[in-house]
Chains A and B, each alone.
Chain A
Amino acid sequence: MKRKWTLLAFIFTIVTVLTGCEPLLVLDPKGPQAATTANVIWISIITMAVIVIVVIVMLTNMLLKYRASKQPDDYEPPHIKGNPIVEGIIVGVPILIVAFLSVVSVISTYQVEATPEGYEDQEPLVIYASSSNWKWHFSYPEQDIETVNYLFLPTNQAIEFRLYSHGTISSFWIPQLAGQKYAMADMVNTLHVVADVPGEYIGRNANFNGEGFAENKFNVTAMPQEEFDQWVDDIQATAEPITEEIFDELIEPGHLGQMTFTGTHLDFAPAPEGENGGHNHGSPADSDEDNSEQEQETGYNESDHHNH
């Protein structure tokens, strides 16, 4: 027994030393969505710790009290069938715990799937985040700019990410701002995010998508609105426009550094939503040319919709 406790103490020390220096990313939220998930995680860790402790205490008790060496040689364990009260407890208590956590789960799931509380009145900033092997392309249709592998966000501003992929399934994840969501080629997923602390955060693709997966990450910088506007103006003044040829090269498999363009690829390569969705089986005669025309329309509508 003593050896076991020494071992446990040893593990505990190592864990605290190793993790004590910096808080774990997921539990160090910088926005309301990640704060919600962090709270839920803490609630569940504490609830579950109670169960683990109860089981370990019961087990230890059984092992210490009913080990053969503690019993007389002629002790014959009784035949015990079961007891409705005991079985009521071992069914009832878990049901209560699960019911409690179900409520937590449902409420928090609805929360992270909506614009965070307090930001409902804001017009959200729409950013298309699309992945290609093994890069992220960020299109800001309202600002009419596009970046590769880095993301600038205004703080205290509701942001609506529209996620999709130019190939494999990837998963868009900025642990300190919100949980992840898949980006797929045949539909657009929405992720609601707010950053309320300026700073630099790590973002990555969390879903395995082949050889370049480990390096499939991006940098996120959250900054006050004025700085963000300044950044947009700088890009409009300095960056080259993105063209179909450039974009086709960008989405070839490989790795790229950070890049900046004016315009967005949505103008000529629309996101798979609305009539461009992968599951829109409307007209079989759809050709690529048709698609891009429709897409341009959608693109303009999009920006009209968000004009302040």
Chain B
Amino acid sequence: MEFFERFAIPHPSPMIYASMVAIGLVTIAIIVGISYFKKWGYLWNEWLTTTDHKRIGIMYIISALLMLFRGGADAVMMRLQTAVPENTFLDAQHYNEVFTTHGVVMIFFMAMAFIIGLMNYIIPLQIGARDVAFPRLNALSFWLYFAGAMLFNISFVIGGSPDAGWTNYYPLASTDFSTSVGVNYYNWALQISGIGTLMSGINFITTIIKMRAPGMTLMKMPMFVWSALITNIIIVFAFPVLTIALLMGTFDRQFGTFFFASENGGMDMMWANLFWIWGHPEVYILILPAFGIYSQIIATFSERNLYGYTSMVVSMVAISLLSFLVWVHHFFTMGHDAMTNSIFSITTMAIAVPTGIKIFNWLLTMWKGKIRFTTPMLYSIAFIPLFTIGGVTGVMLAIASADYQYHNTMFLVAHFHNVIIPGVVFAMIAGLIYWWPKMFGFMLNEKIGKWAFWFIVVGFCFSFFPMYITGLDGQARRMYTYSEATGFGPLSMLSFFGASLLAAGFAIIVYNIYYSFRNAPRNIGDDPWNARSLEWATHNPVPEYNFAVTPEVVSSEALWDAKKRGHNLFKDKIEKIHMPNNTGWPIIMAGLFFVFGFSFVFFIWAGVILSGLAILGCMAYRSFEKDDGRYISVEEIKETEDKFGGANE
């Protein structure tokens, strides 16, 4: 019996049992549904084994949306619990698990997946490539991310969720203080998906450096490509630090080492340092692609070229360098001397300069433009003032002496949501709506989209602005409850109200997808937004081979030049196109990683050894496998192009 006891949840509640039942029923429903409609073959051949960057991108985005709802449900539970003083909806332990999973899910499995998903779909199209450099590795990246996400998500029904905060500080995260297997899940889920992210980073750097269309020099790349390039360079430098830190944490928790212990020569501060040496660049891994998306959208809907292209690029490079020099500002209060804190205070504030350049460049892109208020543009417009507020509160937090008062309070919570939601989440939604016709060949309904926008923007303001005030009033973050005497009640209620509006806004987006899928016209042509960059030079939805003929490019706004100055983007004749084959190995290997991680979490050594050997076996097999890909014939391409009206011929 002892063996099975480890799988029990340490703090069960009716809600968790209900979730177990719900997960079970949904799984059965999905399996029955797919079997009933006989879709297993389609699913396996077209999606699960695909190496097409577009399908992988869509799978990333679907997973990210699922995780958005998981993390969003956590968020609403937290706001509900703290809406009134002395609430008993959640107990302390449950609340701790909820905010821990909220943070981890939103950062690692929602935001990261969303940006990698959009990069997957858009980057090859924007540089005129047929796929990423390593399509098969790309599939493995996705499936490793997915395995990690699923491993993390089963924790709350098998064995217990992590409960030491998403920052997972030791010694709280050590076995002395966090006794369930929760933090083991944290270590292994992030480890597995982190390997996937690192591979994505290498893949995209190679793709962008090596596979650009003829004529596209570095300084003629669309801004989203630049942002993706820099982001992936940051990924390659930052993620190995997390990998090692997680491994050391695993050793501490599972093999009795003392890396992060406060005795025997260990150092709890080392975890904080390693975590944030990865963690601060991570912030820019999330925000830079968002900047790239806004740059595309604002230029498109102002019908103007992006103002200050060169300074945009230079400022992103500056941000990427500075992002590695500021990590100490996450723990000014850890007891460094005034000199250390002063230095990191100044480097932190310095980031405001390149970020400011970008804000003003976007404003100047609208200058003398012809602004169309489409839904993606509304998000971009709301982003500018809201992100500015988030940015300036960041500068306030960067002042070390004042940070002693903001640190660990709701003021900090308000600040980072104020940069992440208008910065990253708005960009993801805006990008999704903007590129939706590219992916699916129809537009999302603008009227419903604008309703969702207003719910989300107003909901955001109500959710997070009150936190600035309660933070300055001494409300620490991560408290599951507070007494009435503190006076946090009314503002926390307001915050819950805002969270409800946000939830409603996201529900409207889902409804919009359903509504538009049913009702939207399919004859939207290739360029429904009157856009500027290369991805709009091919069809909607994009055919498997992206471009029938490799485009030749003369500027960062290839399509706009083609439209306005009559450049011919496609000069060559149609030739047969070399494409990668589908393969089932990535999903199988990720499944083995899942078993490996799960076994490790629970100390099931037989499972660890067997799945570990099987993973090595997969890699060995791959080394000897011969797969030269396949060709799409000229006739087949012509047939497809004719279906779209033969625009490229």
Do B359 and A55 touch (CB < 8 A)?
Answer: yes
Q: Roughly how many angstroms separate A111 CA and B373 CA in the complex, as a whole number? A: 50
B13 to chain A, nearest CB (A): 14
Known pairs A133-B177, A181-B404; A105 contacts B480 (CB<8 A): no
Known pairs A25-B474, A105-B399; A214 contacts B481 (CB<8 A): yes
Query: Would you call B274 an interface residue if the criterion is a C-beta within 8 Å of the partner chain's C-beta atoms?
Result: no
Q: How many of chain A's residues touch chain B, expressed as a range?
A: 35 or more
Interface residues of A in 1-42 (CB under 8 A from B): 7, 11, 14-15, 18-19, 21-22, 24-27, 34, 36-37, 40-41
Query: Would you call A66 an interface residue if the criterion is a C-beta within 8 Å of the partner chain's C-beta atoms?
Result: yes
Q: Roughly how many angstroms separate A77 CA and B298 CA in the complex, as a whole number? A: 13
Query: Would you call A305 an interface residue if the criterion is a C-beta within 8 Å of the partner chain's C-beta atoms?
Result: no
Query: Would you call B533 an interface residue if the criterion is a C-beta within 8 Å of the partner chain's C-beta atoms?
Result: no
Known pairs A40-B402, A105-B399; A213 contacts B479 (CB<8 A): yes
- Complex interface: chain A residues within 8 A of B461 (CB): 11
Stretch of A91-99, A119-127, A261-269, A296-304 at the chain-chain interface: A91-99
Q: Roughly how many angstroms separate A208 CA and B263 CA in the complex, as a whole number? A: 21
Do A55 and B363 touch (CB < 8 A)?
Answer: yes
Do A179 and B352 touch (CB < 8 A)?
Answer: no
B499 to chain A, nearest CB (A): 16
Contact of A208 (CB < 8 Å), options: B353, B472, B478? B478
Do A182 and B491 touch (CB < 8 A)?
Answer: no
Q: Type the 1/0 row for B253-267, where 1 means its CB is closer than 8 Å to any CB of A.
A: 000000000110111
Q: Type the 1/0 row for B94-116, where 1 means its CB is closer than 8 Å to any CB of A.
A: 00100000000000000000000
Do B408 and A102 touch (CB < 8 A)?
Answer: no
Do A105 and B398 touch (CB < 8 A)?
Answer: yes
Interface residues of A in 78-95 (CB under 8 A from B): 78-82, 86-87, 90-91, 94-95
Query: Would you call A154 an interface residue if the criterion is a C-beta within 8 Å of the partner chain's C-beta atoms?
Result: no
Known pairs A59-B384, A206-B409, A207-B408; A179 contacts B308 (CB<8 A): no
Contact of B268 (CB < 8 Å), options: A63, A108, A181, A186? A186
- Please, which residue of chain A has its CB at the minimum distance from the CB of B461? A11
Contact of A55 (CB < 8 Å), options: B169, B384, B465? B384
Q: Type the 1/0 row for A62-78, where 1 means its CB is closer than 8 Å to any CB of B.
A: 11001110010001111
Q: Roughly how many angstroms separate A57 CA and B461 CA in the complex, as a whole number? A: 19
Query: Would you call B440 an interface residue if the criterion is a C-beta within 8 Å of the partner chain's C-beta atoms?
Result: no
Query: Would you call A202 an interface residue if the criterion is a C-beta within 8 Å of the partner chain's C-beta atoms?
Result: yes
Stretch of B66-74, B135-143, B333-341 at the chain-chain interface: B333-341
Stretch of B20-28, B29-37, B342-350, B512-520 at the chain-chain interface: B342-350
Query: Would you call B366 an interface residue if the criterion is a C-beta within 8 Å of the partner chain's C-beta atoms?
Result: yes
- Complex interface: chain B residues within 8 A of A108 (CB): 399-402
Do A167 and B469 touch (CB < 8 A)?
Answer: no
Interface residues of B in 290-319 (CB under 8 A from A): 302-305, 307-311
Query: Would you call A229 an interface residue if the criterion is a C-beta within 8 Å of the partner chain's C-beta atoms?
Result: no
Contact of B96 (CB < 8 Å), options: A106, A113, A211? A211
Query: Would you call B165 an interface residue if the criterion is a C-beta within 8 Å of the partner chain's C-beta atoms?
Result: yes
- Complex interface: chain A residues within 8 A of B368 (CB): 66, 77-78, 80
- Complex interface: chain A residues within 8 A of B265 (CB): 279, 281
Q: Roughly how many angstroms separate A213 CA and B590 CA in the complex, as a whole number? A: 38
Q: Roughly how many angstroms separate A55 CA and B388 CA in the complex, as a whole number? A: 8
Query: Would you call B609 an interface residue if the criterion is a C-beta within 8 Å of the partner chain's C-beta atoms?
Result: no
Query: Would you call A112 an interface residue if the criterion is a C-beta within 8 Å of the partner chain's C-beta atoms?
Result: yes
Contact of B353 (CB < 8 Å), options: A44, A98, A171? A98
Q: Roughly how many angstroms separate A14 CA and B165 CA in the complex, as a whole number? A: 32
- Please, which residue of chain A has its CB at the minimum distance from the CB of B385? A56
- Complex interface: chain A residues within 8 A of B331 (CB): 182
Query: Would you call B209 an interface residue if the criterion is a C-beta within 8 Å of the partner chain's C-beta atoms?
Result: no
Query: Would you call A292 an interface residue if the criterion is a C-beta within 8 Å of the partner chain's C-beta atoms?
Result: no
B92 to chain A, nearest CB (A): 5
Contact of B405 (CB < 8 Å), options: A98, A175, A210? A175
Stretch of B50-58, B389-397, B542-550 at the chain-chain interface: B389-397
- Complex interface: chain B residues within 8 A of A15 (CB): 465-466, 469
Q: Type the 1/0 row for A209-228, where 1 means its CB is closer than 8 Å to any CB of B.
A: 11111100000000000000
Do B469 and A24 touch (CB < 8 A)?
Answer: yes
Contact of A86 (CB < 8 Å), options: B303, B364, B389, B407? B364
Query: Would you call A259 an interface residue if the criterion is a C-beta within 8 Å of the partner chain's C-beta atoms?
Result: no
A200 to chain B, nearest CB (A): 12
Query: Would you call B321 an interface residue if the criterion is a C-beta within 8 Å of the partner chain's C-beta atoms?
Result: no
- Complex interface: chain A residues within 8 A of B363 (CB): 55, 58-59, 62
- Please, which residue of chain A has its CB at the minimum distance from the CB of B264? A278
Do B367 and A62 touch (CB < 8 A)?
Answer: yes
Query: Would you call B154 an interface residue if the criterion is a C-beta within 8 Å of the partner chain's C-beta atoms?
Result: no
Query: Would you call B371 an interface residue if the criterion is a C-beta within 8 Å of the partner chain's C-beta atoms?
Result: yes
Query: Would you call A189 an interface residue if the criterion is a C-beta within 8 Å of the partner chain's C-beta atoms?
Result: yes
- Please, which residue of chain A has its CB at the minimum distance from the CB of B473? A24
- Please, which residue of chain A has its CB at the minimum distance from the CB of B478? A208
A244 to chain B, nearest CB (A): 19
- Complex interface: chain A residues within 8 A of B268 (CB): 169, 184-186
Interface residues of A in 162-198 (CB under 8 A from B): 167-169, 171, 173, 175, 178-182, 184-187, 189-190
A172 to chain B, nearest CB (A): 9
A177 to chain B, nearest CB (A): 11
- Complex interface: chain B residues within 8 A of A179 (CB): 333, 401-405, 407
Known pairs A59-B381, A181-B335; A167 contacts B176 (CB<8 A): yes
Stretch of A45-53, A135-143, A144-152, A231-239 at the chain-chain interface: A45-53
Chain B CB within 10 Å — which of A48, A56, A114 has the most?
A48
Do A37 and B338 touch (CB < 8 A)?
Answer: no
Known pairs A36-B401, A182-B331; A109 contacts B338 (CB<8 A): yes
A84 to chain B, nearest CB (A): 10
Query: Would you call B592 an interface residue if the criterion is a C-beta within 8 Å of the partner chain's C-beta atoms?
Result: no
Do A45 and B388 touch (CB < 8 A)?
Answer: no
Query: Would you call B215 an interface residue if the criterion is a C-beta within 8 Å of the partner chain's C-beta atoms?
Result: no
Q: Type the 1/0 row for B209-221, where 1 means its CB is closer than 8 Å to any CB of A.
A: 0000000000000
- Complex interface: chain B residues within 8 A of A62 (CB): 363, 366-367, 369, 371
Known pairs A48-B392, A98-B395; A63 contacts B371 (CB<8 A): yes
Q: Roughly how many angstroms separate A19 CA and B489 CA in the complex, as a whole number? A: 12
B440 to chain A, nearest CB (A): 26
Known pairs A105-B349, A169-B268, A210-B96; A186 contacts B404 (CB<8 A): no
Known pairs A66-B370, A77-B302, A77-B370; A105 contacts B342 (CB<8 A): yes
Query: Would you call B356 an interface residue if the criterion is a C-beta within 8 Å of the partner chain's C-beta atoms?
Result: yes
- Complex interface: chain B residues within 8 A of A186 (CB): 262-263, 266-269
B89 to chain A, nearest CB (A): 14
Do B367 and A66 touch (CB < 8 A)?
Answer: yes
Do A187 and B302 touch (CB < 8 A)?
Answer: no
Query: Would you call A101 an interface residue if the criterion is a C-beta within 8 Å of the partner chain's C-beta atoms?
Result: yes
- Please, which residue of chain A has its CB at the minimum distance from the CB of B163? A210
Chain A residues in the interface with B (C-beta under 8 A):
7, 11, 14-15, 18-19, 21-22, 24-27, 34, 36-37, 40-41, 44-45, 48, 51-52, 55-56, 58-59, 62-63, 66-68, 71, 75-82, 86-87, 90-91, 94-95, 97-98, 101-102, 104-106, 108-114, 133, 167-169, 171, 173, 175, 178-182, 184-187, 189-190, 202, 204-214, 278-279, 281
Q: Give 19 pairs: A residue, B residue, CB < 8 Å, sorted on A.
A: A11-B461, A19-B469, A24-B472, A66-B366, A68-B370, A81-B305, A86-B364, A101-B399, A108-B401, A109-B399, A112-B404, A180-B407, A184-B268, A185-B171, A208-B165, A208-B172, A209-B172, A210-B178, A279-B267
Chain B residues in the interface with A (C-beta under 8 A):
92-93, 96, 163, 165, 169, 171-172, 176-178, 262-263, 265-269, 302-305, 307-311, 331, 333-335, 337-338, 341-342, 345-346, 349-350, 352-353, 356-357, 359-361, 363-364, 366-373, 381, 384-385, 388-389, 392-393, 395-396, 398-405, 407-409, 458, 461-462, 465-466, 469, 472-474, 476-482, 487, 490-491, 494
Closest 8 CB pairs of A and B: A179-B404, A185-B262, A48-B392, A189-B335, A108-B401, A206-B408, A25-B474, A62-B366
| 4 more A-B residue pairs beyond the given contacts A68-B370, A94-B352, with a C-beta to C-beta distance below 8 A | A98-B353, A179-B403, A210-B163, A212-B92
